[in-house]
A and B are shown apart, each in its own frame.
Chain A
Amino acid sequence: MRKLALSDEILMTIEKPARYIGGEVNSVMKEADDVDIRFLMCFPDVYEVGMSHLGIQILYDMLNKREDTWCERAYSPWPDLDKVMREKNIKLFGLESQESADHFDFIGITLQYEMCYTNILQMIDLSGISVYQKDRKNDDPIVIVGGPCAYNPEPIADFIDIVYIGEGETVYGSLIELYKKHQGKDYDRNSFLREAAKIPGLYVPSLYDVEYNDDKTIASFEPKYDDVPRTVLKQVVTDFSKTTYPEKPVVPFIKTIQDRAVLEIMRGCIRGCRFCQAGAIYRPTREKNLEDLKRYAIEMIENTGYEEISLSSLSSSDFTKLPELLDFLIEEMGKRKVNISLPSLRIDAFSLDVMSKVQDIKKTSLTFAPEAGSQKQRDVINKGLTRDIILKGARDAFIGGWTKVKLYFMLGQPFETYEDIEEIAKLSEAISEEFFDAVPKDQRKGMVEVGASASFFVPKPFTPFQWAPMDTMESFTNKAHFVKDKFREQLNKKRLKFSYHAADVSLLEGILARGDRRLAPAIYEVYKNGGIFDAWGEYYSHERWMEAFEKYGIDISFYLTRERADDEIFPWDFIDAGVTKRFLLNEWKNAKKGIVTPNCREKCSGCGAARFGSGVCFKNET
């Protein structure tokens, strides 16, 4: 029997001990002596969140398919266990072997959202190695990070050995082969890192120097040595249909956020919404082959026993074979009594028909993401959804029996005026009016409910809005109150609801998203003062962050509310994400003018992603 890292006594005094015992169905056990490489794949959030993440399942499966590698998993210990581990000097451990982090060659950490940065420090620190990269010892495991936030890794660069830029499926093999060559008596960490920096997509922050101008902007960003590349090319899976996929994902014992089999159908998005970082960094859009997807769906269900399957992509309605795939799933999953959890789809006759087949209409709500209230503002953000489409969709749905509508908006967008945001309330009202107009009194099976919610816009790297000033906290609050008041003025105000997210977290997200290396000491300070699980409202302390910024003389307006010059060097400019800075700048200017850019299928706008040689940029999508 496996011996657990934590004693019974500890496990019985913390919440949900099942988070830490491993041994789940399809988790992979190997003999440590039989492998050359031990990789600890970490998710810097609690188990239930991390286990729901598809990317980790893909990499876990891919690495374990190698005979020379054993990949294990670790998730951030919840604050109750975190405290015990510090008191009793227990190190972070792999769920599979239950052995501590010092047995591993690599500690891989995924960066999914900025608010998990303190948890990254938690996981590094609990691993028993120095938090700052420069202080690490020769034999310490290599800390490698990847994921969407790796597109601006600079705020945490000082803590990381290697940053993997792009999709994980491509160069881990080369990295492992290189490590095997260096392994052994004469192993020298620094020479290994120096060589690793030459693998495309791998960025070794310690090998670069940054200089600043008097106005605090970046003057230069240069490799320290001639053999270290100046730019790092994002990694893209070019043969997307043939790439590795986890047919046997790990099935947790406890309920997780994503408690189902997940089928990734497409990567990237053709739409080009100007606020959306995912839409830019996952370019070009690539689809999976229908027949492969059918096979994966059946295999995954048979290997996991899940009673539900869902589809994953940034915009599933744009998947060209969606009707065929859904027909297949409705038939095959129906036979197996497996529910289909639909992704959010564009509301039209097709999606309403599918939804009525697989969901209980009474219990589900329709979702629209207009993001902005006015057409002018939707043109600014390049959101190709019109008022007519929304009203028509809602009307058809009301006639079909739906009564609940959810609307997502963002406040604080560039060039937004109070007239624009007033339209949020008016659009919600118009939707409710469609209900009364379309459904005669005696046929109403319930009452219409329109729930609108607004989050605060955070400008992100590699989007056209990377030049944009972020709104101030004060302006956010004023705008939210204003919209709330406008909702109260509507005729059907009793049928409408408006809610908005807390602004302070968005503010921090804004600082970290476009931050640079000078933020590192403040992040460490917050961590030292007990800051972890910032993504969890109950653990987030805005004061703790603001005090840390103050202590290190960090002017947050520099990161947030300043408009950047067209030719400013950004901290993330060393990354070649395919999408060119010239294209993004052009988009920024088009936004100002309210000029709409067509989606990739209508017309290629020459963003630069075609250089990867695959996907939508070429006629025969693969």
Chain B
Amino acid sequence: MKLRIKYAKYGSLKFIGHLDVMRFFQKAIRRAGLDVAYSQGFSPHELITFAAPLGLSVTSEGEYFDGEFNSVTTTKDMVKRLNEQMVEGMEVLDVRLLKKEAKTAMAVVSASDYVVYIKSGYLNDKAELLFNSFDAFMSSDTIEILKKSKKTEKVVDIKPMIIKAAVFPFDGIDGLSKEYLGERDHEKGFFMFLKTGSEENLKPELVMEAYCKFLDIPYEPHAFSVHRLETYMNDGESTVPLYMAGEMISDE
């Protein structure tokens, strides 16, 4: 049986890298006593795979992994048992049963939405400018950035990878849980809906960097916090959150 597990990562755990989060959950599943399936061979490992990796220092309330299980209980019970094994900074939000033929989260991820906000104490004199000029920036036809790899440098237009972006008060952002956010002086931020996945992938930091360039102000990477709200897939017709591929398991 395939389960899709949704979780939040926040606070100091934003400094735990992707691979270590995997190791953390492997152990948490064992401690919780869930009936996870293992690979064969001398050192069996749990059959779990993660969706879109989250960059170091980014918080999220829309993270996912899929796992193969021999038996399951209910969504409520499994969420509770996993949460008993969490530490501060990690919270399990949902467990869904996937259909047999469902593709792994990693394979179907197509987009994510984020809120980027200014950290407390940073950019005091520029905050107003940043909040007020974003629409102008977003109305440009192209947003070009210089992409550097080891050998080559090329100009890429990231505009097509931005599905939607605007400044919003936090209260106006659907699904945002403010308790996951870090310290800030303004109750609003840059909401961004961006393409994510193996084909097209855009990080919100890159948008902010391009924005600062547009404003002709220096980009200070440490001045911004990034929080992922949700990870999406394309189900053929529309873009929906990853959990929609599965069903809640209730007692009946």
Interface residues of A (CB under 8 A from B): 1-2, 4, 8-9, 11-12, 17-18, 21-25, 251, 253-255, 301-307, 336-337, 339, 358-360
Contacts and interface: CB of A to CB of B under 8 A. Distances in A.
Which residue among B15, B20, B182, B221 has the maximum number of chain A CB atoms within 10 Å of its CB?
B15
B12 A21 contact: yes
A246 to B, nearest CB: 16
Contacts of A307: 26-27, 30, 43, 45
A2 B88 contact: yes
A255 B89 CA distance: 19
B28 interface: yes
Contacts, number: 79
Contact of B42 (A9, A301, A306, A359): A359
28 contacts: A1-B12, A4-B12, A8-B57, A9-B222, A11-B15, A17-B15, A17-B56, A21-B12, A21-B13, A21-B15, A22-B12, A23-B12, A23-B88, A25-B24, A25-B27, A25-B28, A25-B87, A253-B16, A253-B20, A254-B20, A255-B23, A304-B27, A304-B31, A305-B31, A307-B26, A307-B27, A307-B30, A360-B42
B169 interface: no
B230 to A, nearest CB: 22
A18 B31 contact: no
A337 B45 CA distance: 8
Nearest to B43: A339
Contacts of B188: none
Contacts of A24: 87
B69 to A, nearest CB: 13
Interface string B205-236: 00000000000000001100100000000000
Interface residues of B, number: 31
B25 to A, nearest CB: 9
Nearest to A338: B30
Given A1-B12, A12-B56, 11 more contacts: A4-B12, A8-B119, A25-B24, A25-B28, A25-B31, A302-B31, A305-B28, A337-B38, A337-B44, A339-B43, A360-B42
A480 to B, nearest CB: 36
B29 interface: yes
A301 B27 CA distance: 10
B246 interface: no
B175 interface: no
Nearest to A251: B27
Contacts of B15: 11, 17-18, 21
Nearest to A359: B42
B11 interface: yes
Nearest to B20: A253
A534 B237 CA distance: 61
A1 B24 contact: no
A359 B43 CA distance: 8
B97 to A, nearest CB: 23
A1 B42 contact: no
Top 9 nearest A-B pairs by Cβ distance?
A: A305-B27, A305-B30, A305-B31, A17-B15, A9-B222, A21-B12, A360-B42, A1-B11, A253-B20
Residue of A8, A22, A255 with most chain B CB atoms under a 10 A cut-off? A8
B221 to A, nearest CB: 8
Interface string B6-22: 00000111011100100
A302 B85 CA distance: 11
Interface in B131-166: none
A501 B134 CA distance: 60
A3 to B, nearest CB: 9
B218 to A, nearest CB: 15
A305 B29 contact: yes
Interface in B19-65: 20, 23-24, 26-31, 38, 42-45, 56-57
B87 A12 contact: no
A303 B31 contact: yes
Contacts of A337: 38, 44
Given A12-B56, A307-B45, A23 B87 contact: yes
Contacts of A301: 30
A18 B27 contact: no
Contacts of B13: 21, 23
